Amino acid sequence: MKKYETEIGGKSLSVEFGKLAQQASGSCYVRYGDSAVLVTATMSDKPKDAGYFPLSVEYEEKYYAAGKIKGSKWIKRETRPSEEAILSARVIDRTLRPRFDHRIRNEVQIVATVLSFDGVNDPDIPSIIGASLSLMVSDIPFDGPVAGVRVGKEDGKFIFNPTYDQRNSSEFDVVVAGTAEKINMIEAGGAEIKEKEMADAIMSGFDEVKKLIDFQNKVASDFKVEKRKLEVDEEDPELVEFVRSFASPKLEKIIYAPNKMEYIEGSHTLESELMVEVENKYKDRADLGKKLRQASAIFEEEIDRIVHKNILESDKRPDGRKLDEVRNIWVETGILPYSHGVGLFNRGTTQALTILTLAAPGMEQWIETMEIALTKKRFMHHYVFPPFSVGETGRIGGAGRRDIGHGALAEKALRPLIPDKEKFPYTIRVVSEILSSNGSSSMASVCGSTLALMDGGVPIKSPAAGIAMGLIMDDKGKNHKVLTDIQGPEDHHGDMDLKVAGTKEGITAMQMDVKVDGITKDILEKSLEQAKKARLEILDVMLKTISEPRKELSKLAPRIEILKIDPDKIGALIGPGGKMINEIIEKTGVEIDIEDDGSVFVTAPNGNGEMEQAIKLIKNVTYEPKAGDEFEGKVVKIMDFGAFVEIMPGKDGMVHVSEISDKHVKHPSDVLKVGQKVKVTVKKIDEYGRINLTMK
| Each residue's pLDDT tens digit, 593-603 | 999 999 999 99
Q: Are residues 405 and 505 in the same domain?
A: yes
Per-residue model confidence (pLDDT) at position 6: 96
Per-residue model confidence (pLDDT) at position 345: 98
* Residue 686 CB coordination number (10 Å): 8
Among 325, 326, 377, 376, which Cα is nearest to 350's? 326
What Å distances lie between residue 492 and 321, 389, 418, 440, 634, CA to CA? Answer: 17, 16, 33, 11, 77
Residue 228, domain member (yes or no): no
Residue 293 has pLDDT above 70, yes or no: yes
- For 139-178, the pLDDT digits (tens) are 999 998 999 999 999 999 999 999 999 999 999 999 999 9
Per-residue model confidence (pLDDT) at position 398: 83
- CATH number at 255 reads 1.10.10.400
Parent domain of 603: 559-622
Q: Are residues 46 and 29 in the same domain?
A: yes
The confidence band for 397, taking pLDDT boundaries of 50, 70 and 90, is confident
Per-residue model confidence (pLDDT) at position 202: 98
Residue 351 has pLDDT above 90, yes or no: yes
Residue 512, domain member (yes or no): yes
In which element (H, E) is residue 303 found? helix 288-314
Domain count, the chain: 5
33-57 mean pLDDT? 94
What Å distances lie between residue 517 and 109, 128, 463, 520, 633, CA to CA? Answer: 21, 17, 35, 10, 80
Q: What is the DSSP string of 331-399?
A: EEE--SSS-SEEEEEEETTEEEEEEEEEE-GGGPEEE--SSS-SEEE-EEEEEE--GGGGT-----SS-
Q: Are residues 95 and 122 in the same domain?
A: yes
pTM: predicted TM-score of the whole model, two decimal places: 0.89
Mention every residue, 6+ apart, whose C-beta is less than 8 A from residue 248. Answer: 302, 306
- For 545-576, the pLDDT digits (tens) are 999 999 999 999 999 999 998 898 899 889 89
In angstroms, how far is CA 545 from the centroid of its own chain? 27
Residue 485 has pLDDT above 90, yes or no: yes
Q: Which of 108-117, 222-231, 321-330, 501-510 shows the lowest per-residue confidence on average (mean pLDDT)?
A: 222-231
* Alpha carbon distance 51, 107 (integer Å): 12
Q: Are residues 367 and 477 in the same domain?
A: yes
Q: Are residues 672 and 615 in the same domain?
A: no
Per-residue model confidence (pLDDT) at position 619: 86
Of the three residues 622, 646, 670, the one that is the final residue of a domain is: 622
340-356 mean pLDDT? 97
Q: List, as residue ranges, the binding site for Mg(2+).
A: 491, 497
Q: List, as residue ranges, the binding site.
A: 491, 497
- CATH number at 599 reads 3.30.1370.10
Q: Are residues 444 and 581 in the same domain?
A: no
- CATH number at 642 reads 2.40.50.140
Of the three residues 522, 545, 568, the one that is the final residue of a domain is: 545
Per-residue model confidence (pLDDT) at position 607: 63
Residue 478, domain member (yes or no): yes
Among 139, 181, 124, 132, which Cα is nearest to 43's? 139
Residue 70 has pLDDT above 90, yes or no: no
Cis upstream peptide for 249 (omega within 30°)? no
247-264 mean pLDDT? 85
Residue 474, domain member (yes or no): yes
Q: Which amino acid is at 599?
A: S
Q: Are residues 216 and 261 in the same domain?
A: no
Per-residue model confidence (pLDDT) at position 313: 93
Q: Are residues 530 and 600 in the same domain?
A: no
Residue 290 has pLDDT above 90, yes or no: no
361-384 mean pLDDT? 87
Per-residue model confidence (pLDDT) at position 13: 97
Residue 229, domain member (yes or no): no
Among 674, 696, 694, 675, which Cα is nearest to 683's? 694
Residue 226, domain member (yes or no): no
Q: Are residues 566 and 528 in the same domain?
A: no
Residue 608 has pLDDT above 70, yes or no: no
Q: Are residues 86 and 207 in the same domain?
A: yes
Of the three residues 173, 195, 220, the one that is the final residue of a domain is: 220
503-528 mean pLDDT? 96
Do the beta carbons of residue 415 and residue 446 sit within 8 Å?
A: no
* Alpha carbon distance 176, 203 (integer Å): 9
* Alpha carbon distance 576, 474 (integer Å): 74
Q: Are residues 310 and 382 in the same domain?
A: no
Q: Which of 93-107, 193-207, 224-238 shows the lowest per-residue confidence on average (mean pLDDT)?
A: 224-238
- For 654-694, the pLDDT digits (tens) are 999 999 998 898 999 989 999 999 999 999 988 888 899 99
65-73 mean pLDDT? 88
Q: Are residues 274 and 361 in the same domain?
A: no
